[in-house]
Structure formats: C-alpha cells, structure tokens
Structure 1
Amino acid sequence: MDGTLAESESLHLKTLIAALARHGVEAGEEMHPLVFGKTGREVHALCRERFGLSVDFAEWSMYRARTYLENAPGLVPRPGALEVYRAAKAAGITQAIVSNASRMLLEANLRALGIEEPSLVTISVNDVREGKPSAEPYERAAWLLRLAPEEVIAVEDSPTGARAAIAAHMRVLAWPFDDEGAALFPPQAQIVRSPRELARALGLDPAAF
C-alpha cells in the first residue's frame, strides 16, 4: 500500500516529525531512510533509543494516527499504480494488499484511493504476530487467497517488504522510486522502473500504460 499504491510515505514522515516535535526533538527528511518500511513499533523503539524519549507506544501511536487520519483524505495514488491494479483485476488476477501499517491507517488509505470492497483481502500489522520483514504477512495473504506462496507475485517499493516476500518464497517485483532505492533491494527481486514495466512483468498488455 504505502509507496506502492499510495503516495503516503511523505505523510507517514510528517506524522513522525510532528510526534518528535511534540517531545522537543527537531527532525526532518533525514529520518526517512531510517524508518522506511518499518512497523510503527519499530519506529517508536528507534526514536526512543536515538532521542532518549520516554513516551510509551500507546500515546505515541495515538498521536501519529490522529495526525495521519486528519490528512489521509488528501492522499493520491502513485502515478500509474491504480491503472495497473485495475488492469490486473480486469484480467482476473486475484489480488491482496499487504501492509506494515495498522488496520485503521490501511483502511483510511483504501478509502482515499477509492478501492474499498468487501472481497478485497488486506493484511495489516494488526493481523499478524510479526510485520515485514517477517514472511508472516505474505504467508497469511497467500493462505487467505487460497494460493501457495510460490504462486504469488509480490510488488514492493521497499527492501523490507521485498525481503518479507522472498522469505515467503514468492516472486518479487521491486518498484523503487529511483536508482538509489533500486540498489537497496536484495538480488532475488526483479526491478521494474515504470508502470509499463510492471504491467509487462505481470503479463498484462504494456501498451495500455
């Protein structure tokens, strides 16, 4: 979801910067590579260690979630992402969304993108014991789709997510934002650099993108 379908990474960073400022810590864009792809609990632990914060996770996450939800209606899709998503659906490809975000934030993103539907399989960090890079979120998605993990293709914008899908024995299409990001993916991931390349890798007609 985050970064693959929705351009929401900047909003997650905004909530982090605001939460840190609330506790007297000035931070900015330099935090993004440190928290990219991590769960909320992992980010909280990192900030406690890095900045000596004493705030507990419940208070921290409540503030960040409130800030996120206030801004979520303004989210936009990643260019070309929903077109590929809808083309795959039209082609009969079964899909699931696997996120390290909480259930509340994941559903806010679905609403913002207009892709809520009763039959859509979605996995949030609340649905598993361990988030990405554990294989568990992807394994659960495959189970709910009634597919073997080896039958599934994962599309990921983050190396953390790619490692999770590889651990689940899935084929991985890595869709980074730039060459710098592409260099961070494990070698097992196949890099795609545009919606057209993504469509081709999924067996869709690339001429439509």
Structure 2
Amino acid sequence: MEMREVGKKELIVSSAKKVILEKGYKNISVEDITNEAGIAKGSFYTYFKSKNLVIDYILEEVIAKRKNEFKLDKRKSLENTIKSLVRTRIKLDDEKLKENLVLVNLFRNVASLDEKTLMLLKELEKVIIERMESIILAYPKEIKIERKDIKFYSKMLNNIISNYKTFTLFFSEKSNQFITDIEEVKKKYQTEDFERNVEIISKSILKILTY
C-alpha cells in the first residue's frame, strides 16, 4: 500500500476518534467522519464499508498495543510491579488517552454496537485480565491465591483500575459529565491527588493479593 493511502486511512481513523468524542458514537455518521477528515464519502468507503468497521479497526489496534505495553520483570518486587502496572494503565500519553476516552464512549453506547465490536471489546478485556493473571502467577511466594480463584481476582483488580479511570480520572465533577478533551485529563495528572491515588490503588491491590 502506498504511503499516501496509509496516510488517508489513518486520517479517517483519527477523524473518527475526534467526532466520537465530540458527539458520541451512536450520534455520528460516515458523513461526520468524512467532513472532519475533509474527504469525499467515496474515499471513506475505499477503506471502510461502515462506521462500525472503523471502530473495529481502532479496537484491533488497541488490542495489539495492549498485548505489548507492559513487560513483566520478575526481578522487581511485587510492590514495584503493581505500581508499574497501575501507572501504565492510568498515566497515558496523548494517543492512549484519546483511545481510552473513545473506549469509555463505546462502553456508554454499548447498545449501539454490533456483535463484532462487542466481541473485540471482550477480547480487549481478556488481554488485560490475562496480564493481571500473569503477575499473580509470577509471585507464588507472596501471593497465595488458589489457581481456581486467579481469574476472579484478576477481574476484580482490573475493575478497581478501570473504575478509577472511568469515574474519577475521565469524569468531571465540575460539569458532571465524562471528559472528552485529553488536555483536561492531563491537568489531573499534575495534581497531588493523582499521585496519591496511584499510591492508594497500588497499596489496595497489594493488600488484596497478599492478605
């Protein structure tokens, strides 16, 4: 594929993310995406047959990234590994922030998603949970959880991190709405509360795993 074609496809994807954050997934159309991208509808359909397929492409990219974003280093203590995981999950660069805000919007509009998209969201959750499972299995001396319970604990600990992101980091108490601007989230990163919350979440997970 020529570089120009790759550029246009990524332009469509980037534009889709932007209009999803501005209008919400269920409220956008192909026309909204093409208007934002400044291209004709015909160009859109060269790459994607529907807006659903743009979302599927975004999710497939996110899944691929998540599989490689956290490298388990068994030389680290369990405490430091947990801290690294929590920070990896919530202290995000601009592109990951945008992706995460899009994901929050998709979960809020889950009734509008097709079966393939729902399957990809489940696959993303599976990747994240398996990462937590790998940490539990890597520290058998410190963590005494029975094997049959590992998946349950992994889901529970994932929910702790996910709920913090969704309802604290990505939610504005001032406007009582979910945040759509990454700059607003980045301001929260600069606060003492954020660093304290990272510490609280990390210690809470550590206590649950080593009780």
Q: TM-score when scaled to structure 2?
A: 0.29
More helix as a share of residues: 2
Tell me: higher relative CO, structure 1 or 2? Use CA pairs within 8 A at least 6 residues apart: 2
Higher strand share: 1
